[in-house]
């Protein structure tokens, strides 16, 4: 069959989850961030595996992701990180999803909707302690807490904030954010609110900032087996979960001086062997990897030559002995003792490993390896 395969190693996922558990210990719970198709790893299957492993919370961006998890039988509490809009209230309530709140209008309206449905909805309140993105600005938190306290349709379960630069070597801004968060927590408590879960740590916080664990940590990337940056202080042993493979579709011998691919951007300088692969930018294999990418074939590294097309990529296998049609080619992951990491690909095109996973995996069909015996 022509095409590529994404393999998701659930044993590696279990290993990484155990690393998070080891780091945070028994006194903090874990929220696994499975938004964006679990960073391209398959949201439902990843969530199921982590539920079996005892994860305390799941985090997604949108209520529609949360509903998909519920419809697939996930029972774990689910936090909707981007919050909710008015037209989602009834489904949020029906599917027992926990929204993040940071707007007064939405807070009031969802409280009324919950009361009308004769229920109390658990919510988490988001405070912006310096990221400048989502959340009530920390200087306005006290006013927000006053409003929240007056709303009878919601039950405040959590208070959260988000680090802007926990993955950087210099932790001074993270410390400032943590300090602001603690001050806001004190204000909330004096306004009569108390929280089962306060949380601010992402993966970088989990790895480098034990002071930030509080009652809950939110880890995404490290569960998928990659480090949030190369600047972390503490070593952590993670196993990559995603592998992307394809097969050689054609091999050809060409003379020196032969152009390869659209725009003839690569011209051979010696008699060469070119292998053509059935993968391209439509598969998330970024066109910026043209003349830059590397693949593994027969346990050797072979460079991408010429432009990446929509569905095809060409690699120079002149120095790889005996490459044949149908040989396995690894674009991300291990083959023999060789490995291509998401960090390596990201560095080639000036982005981060997070984006590589989303682009390669996102909403494509996957094979799940090492499922527990049912």
Ligand X SMILES: *Cc1c(COP(=O)(O)O)cnc(C)c1O
Residues designated catalytic:
35, 262
Residues from 294 through 353 that contact ligand X (CB under 6 A): none
Stretch that binds ligand X, among 70-78, 213-221, 270-278, 312-320 (CB under 6 A): 213-221
Task: Specify burial of residue 362 (Cβ count, 10 A radius: 0-12, 13-18, 19+).
Answer: middle
In the complex, least distance from residue 95 CB atom to ligand X, rounded to whole angstroms: 20
Q: Is 219 an interacting residue with respect to ligand X (CB under 6 A)?
A: yes
For residue 202, state whether it binds ligand X (rule: CB under 6 A): yes
The token duo for 327 is 């040989």
Rounded distance, CA 311 to CA 79, Å?
37
- The two structure tokens encoding residue 367: 């094979």
Work out how close the CB of 197 gets to ligand X at its nearest, in angstroms, rounded to a whole number: 13
Q: Does 218 bind ligand X (CB under 6 A)?
A: yes
* Total chain residues near ligand X (CB under 6 A): 11
Kindly tell me which of 222 and 248 has the beta carbon lying closer to ligand X: 222
- Cβ proximity to ligand X: between 274 and 356 the closer is 356
Is 255 exposed, middle or buried, given 0-12, 13-18 or 19+ CB atoms closer than 10 A? exposed
Give SS3 for 303: strand
Among 63, 111, 203, 314, which residue sits at the site for ligand X (rule: CB under 6 A)? 203
Whichever of 299 and 363 has its CB closer to ligand X, that residue is: 363
158 binds ligand X (CB under 6 A): no
Q: Note the helical H segments in 95-171.
A: 104-116, 141-149
| Using rule CB under 6 A, residue 47 touches ligand X | no
Q: Which residues ranging from 57 to 116 are in contact with ligand X (CB under 6 A)?
A: 81
Q: Answer yes or no: are the C-beta atoms of 97 and 78 closer than 8 Å.
A: yes
Nearest to 14 by CA among 45, 57, 59, 60: 45
Interface with ligand X, residue 135, by CB under 6 A: no
Distance CA 367, CA 4 (A): 11
Q: Which residue is nearest to ligand X (CB)?
A: 220
Q: Show the tokens assigned to 333.
A: 């992951």
Rounded least distance, CB 305 to ligand X, Å: 34
Buried b (16+ CB within 10 A) or exposed e, 131-160: eeebbbebeebeebbeebeebebbebbbbb
In the bound state with ligand X, the residue whose beta carbon lies nearer, of 44 and 134, is 134
Verify binding: residue 41, ligand X, rule CB under 6 A: no
Closest CA to 275 of 240, 305, 317: 317
Stretch binding ligand X (CB under 6 A), from 218-226, 288-296, 317-325, 335-343: 218-226
162 binds ligand X (CB under 6 A): yes
**Residue 330 Cβ vs ligand X, minimum distance, rounded to whole Å:** 24
228 binds ligand X, rule: CB under 6 A: yes
CB of 165 to ligand X, least distance (A): 11
The Cα 251–Cα 323 span in angstroms is 8
Nearer to ligand X among residue 34 and residue 260 (C-beta): 34
Question: Would you count residue 33 as binding ligand X (CB under 6 A)?
Answer: yes
Looking at beta carbons only, is 148 or 226 nearer to ligand X? 226
The span of 46-54, 177-185, 216-224, 340-348 binding ligand X (CB under 6 A) equals 216-224
Pick the piece of the chain touching ligand X (CB under 6 A) from 66-74, 182-190, 217-225, 297-305: 217-225
Burial of 22 (C-beta count, 10 Å sphere; 0-12/13-18/19+): exposed
- Determine if residue 151 is left, alpha or beta; phi over 0 gives left, psi from -120 to 50 gives alpha, anything else beta: beta
Q: b/e map of 223-251 (b: 16 or more CB within 10 Å)?
A: bbbbbbbeebeeebebebbbbbbbbbbeb
CB of 220 to ligand X, least distance (A): 3
Of the candidate spans 50-58, 174-182, 219-227, 292-300, the one that interacts with ligand X by CB under 6 A turns out to be 219-227
Residue 217: Cβ-neighbour burial (10 angstroms; 0-12, 13-18, 19+): buried
Q: Which is nearer to ligand X, 35 or 307 (CB)?
A: 35
Q: Give me the residues that bind ligand X (CB under 6 A), please.
A: 33, 35, 81, 162, 202-203, 218-221, 228
């Amino acid at each position: 069959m022509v095409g590529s395969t994404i393999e998701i190693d659930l044993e590696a996922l279990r290993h990484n989850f155990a690393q998070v558990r080891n780091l945070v210990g028994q006194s903090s719970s874990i929220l696994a961030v499975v938004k964006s198709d679990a960073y391209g790893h398959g949201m439902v299957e990843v969530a199921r595996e982590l539920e079996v492993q005892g994860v305390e919370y799941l985090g997604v961006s949108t209520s529609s992701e949360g509903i998909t998890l519920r419809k697939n039988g996930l029972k774990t509490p689910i936090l909707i990180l981007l919050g909710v809009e008015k037209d989602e209230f009834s489904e949020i309530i029906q599917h027992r999803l926990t929204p993040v709140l940071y707007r007064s209008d939405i807070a009031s309206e969802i409280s009324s909707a919950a009361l009308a449905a004769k229920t109390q909805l658990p919510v988490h309140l988001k405070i912006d302690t310096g990221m400048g993105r989502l959340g009530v600005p920390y200087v306005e938190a006290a006013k927000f807490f006053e409003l929240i306290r007056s709303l009878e349709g919601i039950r405040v379960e959590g208070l959260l904030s988000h680090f802007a630069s926990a993955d950087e070597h210099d932790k001074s801004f993270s410390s400032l954010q943590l300090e602001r968060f603690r001050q806001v927590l004190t204000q909330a408590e004096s306004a009569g609110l108390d929280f089962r879960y306060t949380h601010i740590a992402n993966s970088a916080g989990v790895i480098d900032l034990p002071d930030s664990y509080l009652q809950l940590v939110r880890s995404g990337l490290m569960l998928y087996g990659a480090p949030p940056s190369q600047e972390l202080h503490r070593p952590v042993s993670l196993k990559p979960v995603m592998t992307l493979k394809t097969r050689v579709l054609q091999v050809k011998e060409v003379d020196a001086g032969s152009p390869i691919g659209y725009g003839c951007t690569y011209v051979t300088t010696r008699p060469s062997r070119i292998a053509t692969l059935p993968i391209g930018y439509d598969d998330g294999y970024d066109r910026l990897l043209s003349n830059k990418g590397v693949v593994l074939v027969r346990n050797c590294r072979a460079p991408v030559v010429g432009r990446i097309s929509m569905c095809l990529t060409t690699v120079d296998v002149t120095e790889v002995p005996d490459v044949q049609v149908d040989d396995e080619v690894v674009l991300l992951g291990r083959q023999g003792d060789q490995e291509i990491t998401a960090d390596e690909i990201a560095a080639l095109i000036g982005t981060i490993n997070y984006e590589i996973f989303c682009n390669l995996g996102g909403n494509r069909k996957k094979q799940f390896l090492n499922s527990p015996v049912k």
